[in-house]
Amino acid sequence: MTVIDYALRPIATPSRRSVSARTRTAALAVVAVAPFVANADAGIVALALPDMQRDLGMSLTAAQWVTNVYVLLVGGFQLLGGRLADIVGRRRLFLSCLVGFVVASAMCGAATAGPWIITGRAFQAVAAALLIPAAMAIMIAMFTDPAERSRAVGIWGTVGGIGAITGTCAGGVVVSQFDWRWGFYVNIPIGVVILVTSLRLVPQDGGDRARGADVPGAACMTGGLLALVYGLVRVAEHGWADPVTIAILAGGVVLLAAFALIQSRTTYPLVPPALVRNRRLVCGAIGVLLVSAATIPVIVVGSLYLQRVHGADALTAGFMLVPVVGMVLLVGPLGAHLLNRLGPRVPYLIGWVAIGGGLLSLTRLAPDSAYFTDILPGLVLVGVGMPFVWINSEVVATSAADERTAGLAAGVVQAAAQIGAAIGLALAMTAANTHADARVSKGADPLSALSEGVGRAFLLAAAMVVPAVLNALVGMRRMNPAESLQ
């Protein structure tokens, strides 16, 4: 029992089975704020980074670690966070990590030196990595009916999209009108409101400590994921031929192989073999990984193009990229509706057609490309396709889970999204920089070379359509509402 649960244990919290539909919806709205805050925080920090570097006297390399340490630790701890939610309890982990995220945000806001803010971001990342799968596990456990769950996942994705938009837009306002520290301090009142509301609305669950904890397996898995994500982050800066990067990636593979070996021999595996063999969970997670790898580079590489080629400042570039995440609000509910009527395969493929078309459109970018005629259509198509693919993939993956395994399914989905983003960014940035450098070395105009490099990055992202279609044929089949979620 956490300090929070102990102090407030007289407060009656209904069990999952006694929760009404209205209360479940209210609880969903509360826990869905977790991805909202995480996405908004990432956007604000990205735009505030130059001011942090100046005020704290950080070098460019050190300043990059304000974002890198967050990506690294969130990617490495997501799967462990999901499993812990099953063992110690979803509500308990959610509340504890929410407090940790608020405290870490206050620490970042009060930072007076570079090491302080990097340490605070590390704590913030670990808290977020455990908080988000715990929140998603609460949602999965509350909504067991397939139709209700698909609508809940749609709401979850929409709220996360709103968070991304808010971070992109509000980040520029906070940085330009106030102070970058308020980008962290704003998490404190939001976190307190979520905490108080969650204590009333989120159902109690006791977890399953009887299963035990596979500590060696958890260490190998988390270490392997950390090494894998860190290696992919280094690829964008040092390329695939860097010996240190190769060694880190190889170490990650070795640790993950050791994790698989431990899982085959332990009494209480961190990831039960039955779920690993479940086609829905695997194919749904692959869908999340692929869509993350294909679309996340649009924001980062697109921002690079708009700022360096078109001379837009960070705030302007952020608003110009809003259609990518803004379309989630418009077509997200439609994606959930089509899922219930047609099953996951058709809307999933529709989404990939839109994403592929948008990315191919963006491969033709040039220094004189006009925003409304040459750039915006591609951004809109990518934004339209994202929720179709993401919502369907998450629903398929989580349909394999019941109340006992909700945390694991959530952790797998969230880890797939983070690893996909790291893979996509590493491939896209390497393609863009390598091609641009090669063209400049041959005497090409730097802006034209960078535009061509960005086009190559988007072409590489569009190649994700091929494995995505194969994934649809294998695992994105229509779900039977009467089928067990075991």
Specify whether 229 is located in the same domain as 82.
Answer: no
CB atoms within 10 A of CB 3: 10
Task: Give CA–CA dist 399/339, Å, rounded.
Answer: 13
- Domain assignment of residue 13, yes or no: no
Specify whether 425 is located in the same domain as 296.
Answer: yes
Q: What is the pLDDT of residues 125-166, one digit of tens each?
A: 899 989 988 998 888 888 888 778 878 887 787 777 677 667
Specify whether 261 is located in the same domain as 281.
Answer: no
Q: What is the pLDDT of residues 323-382, one digit of tens each?
A: 887 787 778 777 777 877 888 889 999 999 999 999 999 999 999 999 999 999 999 999
Specify whether 189 is located in the same domain as 256.
Answer: no
Residue 282 · residue 276 · CB < 8 Å: yes
Specify whether 444 is located in the same domain as 299.
Answer: yes
The helix-helix angle for 279-308 and 376-398 (nearest 10°) equals 160
Domain boundary among 163, 188, 205: 205
Task: Give CA–CA dist 120/290, Å, rounded.
Answer: 31
- Domain assignment of residue 468, yes or no: yes
| CA neighbor of 4 nearest in space, from 198, 140, 142, 134 | 198
Across 391-416, b (16+ Cβ under 10 Å) vs e yields bbbbbbbbbbbebebbbbbbbbbbbb
What are the C-alpha distances in Å from 280 to residues 330, 331, 396?
Answer: 27, 24, 6
Specify whether 192 is located in the same domain as 70.
Answer: yes
Specify whether 242 is located in the same domain as 345.
Answer: no
What are the C-alpha distances in Å from 440 to residues 25, 238, 302?
Answer: 55, 18, 20
Provide the domain limits for residue 221.
214-267
Residue 94 · residue 204 · CB < 8 Å: no
CB atoms within 10 A of CB 239: 14
Task: Give CA–CA dist 89/169, Å, rounded.
Answer: 35
- Domain assignment of residue 11, yes or no: no
pLDDT per residue, tens digit, the chain (486 aa), is 433 343 334 334 444 444 567 778 888 888 888 878 877 777 777 777 778 888 898 876 677 788 778 877 887 788 888 888 888 888 999 999 999 999 999 999 999 998 999 999 999 989 998 998 899 888 888 888 877 887 888 778 777 767 766 776 666 666 667 778 888 888 899 889 989 988 888 888 766 655 556 678 778 888 888 888 788 878 867 778 889 999 999 999 999 899 888 888 877 777 777 777 788 889 999 999 999 999 988 887 888 898 889 888 767 877 888 888 778 777 877 777 787 788 888 999 999 999 999 999 999 999 999 999 999 999 999 999 998 998 889 888 888 677 777 888 888 888 888 888 888 888 888 888 888 888 999 888 999 999 999 999 999 999 999 999 999 988 776 555 434 334
- Domain assignment of residue 6, yes or no: no
Domain boundary among 245, 267, 289: 267
Specify whether 383 is located in the same domain as 466.
Answer: yes
CATH number at residue 169: 1.20.1250.20
Specify whether 227 is located in the same domain as 346.
Answer: no
Q: Which two tokens stand for residue 437?
A: 């450098």
- Domain assignment of residue 48, yes or no: yes
Specify whether 237 is located in the same domain as 194.
Answer: no
- Domain assignment of residue 59, yes or no: yes
Question: Is-above-0.85 flag for pTM?
Answer: no
- Domain assignment of residue 485, yes or no: no
| Overall domain count for the chain | 3
Q: Which two tokens stand for residue 235?
A: 């690829």
Specify whether 143 is located in the same domain as 244.
Answer: no
Domain boundary among 184, 205, 226: 205
Task: Give CA–CA dist 133/76, Å, rounded.
Answer: 13
Q: Which two tokens stand for residue 474?
A: 């294998």
Specify whether 284 is located in the same domain as 359.
Answer: yes
Task: Give CA–CA dist 59/70, Å, rounded.
Answer: 18
- Domain assignment of residue 80, yes or no: yes
Q: Torsion angle of alpha carbons 385, 389, 390, 393, nearest 10°?
A: 180
